């Protein structure tokens, strides 16, 4: 995880997806693909993702590590008030602050549920001391943020619009600002071992780019080979890759990005 500042153009975005039901297979995770899609629509990208079970010590340790960075982090799940929800308490422990009832969150819950907010629903207004609210457009039970960490419900229909609100409210200045491009070719009937020397040469020539090699064994063996990074360098690196693959005697064709 990086300590780069998100306001200096070199920012990192990460995600925690929390819940035993994901790790046991009782529910299939839908958050990861949606996070990637939501960020991509704004010219942003996800740098890391971590799945965690409902284990307070493990959640606390993970949060301690990421809270020590400037990463922009979205956490999904575990912010309810049932005995198997530990994210609020783990965030407070990671920060070294107490849990306290947030007046604004209480007002939202009361506005939605009236007298039925008590005695249990109001427990979901207990956040780490100093937390800020993330509005919930579905049932007004807010999420919360501390620094650049944003804690959202596990329910997709609530969490996804809340994530979009965070991005559009706090990070619009980052949208479509990165000088980034990705390009690749599909190489036919080659093994990765036959292209390793070429790959190493590309990495040495363009150390700021990320090279990727994605083999697939189907009716015909193929490798998607490409690079991503600064747009002005991607084109030069792809020229080198195409020339090298042709020189090695392998058929290829370009893939649209």
Model confidence at 217: pLDDT above 80: yes
Model confidence at 3: pLDDT above 60: no
Model confidence at 47: pLDDT above 50: yes
- Among 112, 39, 52, 63, CA closest to 85: 52
Range(s) within the chain of domains with CATH label 3.30.70.600: 181-255
Q: What share of the chain is helix, strand, coil (3-state, %, to 5)?
A: 40, 25, 35
Q: Tens digits of per-residue pLDDT, 128-149?
A: 999 999 999 999 999 999 999 9
Range(s) within the chain of domains with CATH label 3.40.980.10: 13-174
Model confidence at 174: pLDDT above 60: yes
Model confidence at 226: pLDDT above 60: yes
In the CATH hierarchy, which top-level class contains the domain 13-174?
alpha beta
Q: Looking at 13-125, which runs of residues are DSSP E strands?
A: 13-18, 48-52, 72-76, 99-101
Superfamily of domain 181-255: Ribosomal protein S10 (3.30.70.600)
pLDDT at site 219: 83
- Residues 9, 5: Cα–Cα separation, whole Å: 8
pLDDT at site 7: 36
Binned at pLDDT 50, 70 and 90, residue 2 comes out as very low
pLDDT at site 1: 38
pLDDT at site 11: 87
Q: Tens digits of per-residue pLDDT, 88-120?
A: 999 999 999 999 999 999 999 999 999 999 999
Task: Note the pTM of the prediction, 2 decimals.
Answer: 0.86
pLDDT at site 179: 83
């Amino acid at each position: 995880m990086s300590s780069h500042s998100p306001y200096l153009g070199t920012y990192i975005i990460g995600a925690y997806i929390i819940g035993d039901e994901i790790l046991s297979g009782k529910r299939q995770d839908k958050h990861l693909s949606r996070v990637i899609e939501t960020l991509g629509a704004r010219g942003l990208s996800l740098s890391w993702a971590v799945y965690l079970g409902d284990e307070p010590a493990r959640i606390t340790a993970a949060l301690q590590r990421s809270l020590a960075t400037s990463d922009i982090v979205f956490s999904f799940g575990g912010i309810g008030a049932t005995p198997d929800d530990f994210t609020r308490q783990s965030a407070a422990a990671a920060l070294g602050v107490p849990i306290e009832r947030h007046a604004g969150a209480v007002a939202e819950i009361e506005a939605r549920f009236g007298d039925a907010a008590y005695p249990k629903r109001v427990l979901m207004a207990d956040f780490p001391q100093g937390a800020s609210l993330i509005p919930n457009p579905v049932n007004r039970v807010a999420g919360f943020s501390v620094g650049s960490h944003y804690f959202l419900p596990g329910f997709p229909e609530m969490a996804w619009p809340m994530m979009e609100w965070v991005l559009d409210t706090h990070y619009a200045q980052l949208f479509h600002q990165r000088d980034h491009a990705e390009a690749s070719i599909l190489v036919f009937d080659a093994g990765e071992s036959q292209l390793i020397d070429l790959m190493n040469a590309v990495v040495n020539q363009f150390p700021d780019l990320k090279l990727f090699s994605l083999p697939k064994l189907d009716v015909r063996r193929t490798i998607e080979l490409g690079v991503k990074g600064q747009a002005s360098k991607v084109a030069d690196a792809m020229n080198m890759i195409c020339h090298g693959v042709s020189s090695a005697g392998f058929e290829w064709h370009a893939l649209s990005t």
